Chain A
Amino acid sequence: MTTPMLSVEAVSHAYGERRALDNVTFAVAPATFAVLLGLNGAGKSTLFSLITRLYATQHGRIRIFNNDVEWASGEALRILGVVFQSRTLDLDLSVMQNLMYHAALHGLRRREARTRADEVLVRIALKDRAYDKVRTLSGGHMRRVEIARALLHRPHLLVLDEPTVGLDIKSRADILRYVRQLIAEDGISVLWATHLIDEVGANDHLIVLHHGRVLADGSLSRVLANCGATNVHDAFARLTGSERLMGETE
């Protein structure tokens, strides 16, 4: 059987009395675009904090290509690229300085880091902004730089927490297209957390998270078939009992 790139096994997490995740289990296969769909407060960010080991796993196990995040965190984080929901770039530094800092945090030598930074900037079509301060970039461009940064150490798994929040329609489409391209070209796996239904593609792996629990996990067609729904919106409404998916763009 293929080793999953990400495996989340029976993970539960609570903040005091409040349970944020309840027995969450799913796996993301190599070269897959997996969408973690859930309303705000579903537990997506908590799950991201556990995958990236900002928090320790209280119950259950998370592995990134067989590396336990808890016990082999270095090896796990090494093959993981992360784009957090909040902006994590240093606004006062240039795009290149931000990339070089990230490269150093992964132990990349300066010359190699420089070559890779040039490569990723060409890929995200921001080579001409390399020496501009991040503060001067638009929201969409900042996101692209964050994705470029997450790819600098050539991860095998890229996790993105609501990366298109606050962006205009064109920037959203650009970023989505770019990340999908990465799977086709580089064969990396992607876990894309969102509450925006129109970001789910026909061939995606869909995981529906609601109130900290996984309500559906499988290919989009299988989830639709299991729910007896004709589209993602219907499926989500039937699974969660929500009349309307919040944040859906019309």
Chain B
Amino acid sequence: MNSTISDRPSAISVILPPKGFTPGQFAICLKGIVWRESLRFLHQRERFISALVRPLVWLFIFAAGFRQVLGLSIIPPYQTYILYAEYITPGLIAMIQLFNGMQSSLSMVYDREMGNMRTLLVSPFPRWYLLCSKLIAGTAVSLLQVYAFLLIARFWEIGPPPVGYLLVLPALVLCGLMLGALGMLISSAIKQLENFAGVMNFVIFPMFFASSALYPLWQVRESSPLLYYICEFNPFTHAVELIRFALYAQVNWLSLAVVGGCTVLFVLGAILAYDPSRGLITRRGEAAGAA
């Protein structure tokens, strides 16, 4: 629908764009955000390298050192005795996604401080869609990292059966979205970039260590029942288990439900937090540089 100002003496006509957006335009917007996020990631080579080196250090050094110390019984989804390196691979995959999720939220804080965030938020597309697109973009970047890690691990003959590489994809997408949304939610509550180091310590390390990433939970229960329950309530544990089972062509329904539920919860929380009328950023005028 076009509107025209006709009563202005100088006869200036204002032709408005059609209302709303077509599905194609929504797709263009999503593609643009994913493209920009991928470009940024590829430009930051150190980020890519450190995203790979971190889990590889765990896999080749930590796992080798602990191979003899930690005894693993046969637990689902494994049907035979496995090497410790094989056990921690799903945990390291989830770690990559956890770091990536937090790093995208770090970039959101940085963008907010630098003003880039405004470019995104003044787009006429609905804000929930922009945030979801950003989440999808972050998840896509995490998939690149995960598959690069799995490829390197494969050279050392550590990895799932071939079909696992494909079957794990939906689990990775879901876990990437959950951890990205968590990061986004956290980013909305962070005032300045400097505060982020604390969040890394208080979120990443507790989530990683209080999970089944490095040790099976039955072993945790033997040493501390309380810690066991904490691990059970940790959504990261379920992300690890969802990935672990998917790698071996199985579905851990409980983990799927927890990860799915948490994803919805965190996404809604992040959308709410970035909503101008209710969100946390509104209450902090200084965060967006208003004077």
A interface residue numbers (CB < 8 A to B): 1-3, 5, 15, 20, 29-31, 40-41, 43-46, 48-49, 52-56, 65-66, 70, 73-80, 82, 84-90, 92-93, 97, 100-110, 156, 187
Q: In the assembled complex, which residues on chain B have CB atoms less than 8 Å from the CB atom of A77?
A: 122-124
Indicate whether A75 sits within 8 Å of B124 (C-beta atoms), given known contacts A105-B32, A107-B21, A187-B12.
yes
Also in contact, A156 and B28, with CB within 8 A (given A20-B290, A44-B291, A86-B115):
no
The number of chain B residues with a CB under 8 A from chain A is 53
Q: Could you tell me which residues of chain B, from 268 to 291, have a CB within 8 Å of some CB in chain A?
A: 275-278, 281-283, 285-286, 288-291
Q: Is the CB of B276 within 8 A of A56?
A: yes
Q: Are B276 and A55 in contact (CB under 8 A)?
A: yes
| Residue pair A2, B21 in contact (C-beta under 8 Å) | no
> Which of A30, A40, A45, A56 makes the CB contact (< 8 A) with B290?
A45
**Does B46 reach chain A (CB closer than 8 Å)?**
no
Q: A15-B283, A55-B276, A85-B289 are in contact. List 11 more A-B contacts (CB 8 A).
A: A15-B285, A30-B5, A44-B291, A49-B288, A54-B281, A55-B285, A82-B122, A89-B116, A101-B119, A104-B32, A105-B33
The answer to whether A105 and B10 touch across the interface, beta carbons within 8 angstroms, is: no
Q: B114 touches which one: A45, A53, A86, A106 (CB < 8 A)?
A: A86
Determine if B16 and A105 form an interchain contact, defined as CB atoms under 8 angstroms apart: no
6 cross-chain CB contacts under 8 A: A1-B7, A74-B125, A79-B17, A84-B118, A97-B36, A108-B28
Give residues 8-60 of B contacting A (CB, 8 Å).
Answer: 8, 10, 12, 14, 16-17, 19-22, 24-26, 28-29, 31-33, 35-36, 39-40, 43-44
Whether the pair B28, A56 counts as a contact (CB closer than 8 A) is no
Q: How far is the CB of B16 from chain A (nearest CB, A)?
A: 6
Among B21, B25, B36, B275, find the residue whose CB has the most chain A CB atoms closer than 10 A.
Answer: B36
Instruction: Report the separation of the CA atoms of residues A86 and B44 in the bound assembly, to the nearest whole angstrom.
Output: 23
Contact indicator A86/B289 (Cβ below 8 Å): yes
* Given A44-B291, A74-B20, A79-B16: A104 touches B277 (CB 8 Å cut-off): no
Partner of B116 from A15, A20, A43, A90 at Cβ < 8 Å: A90
* CB interface residues, B 87-146, toward A, < 8 Å: 114-116, 118-126, 130
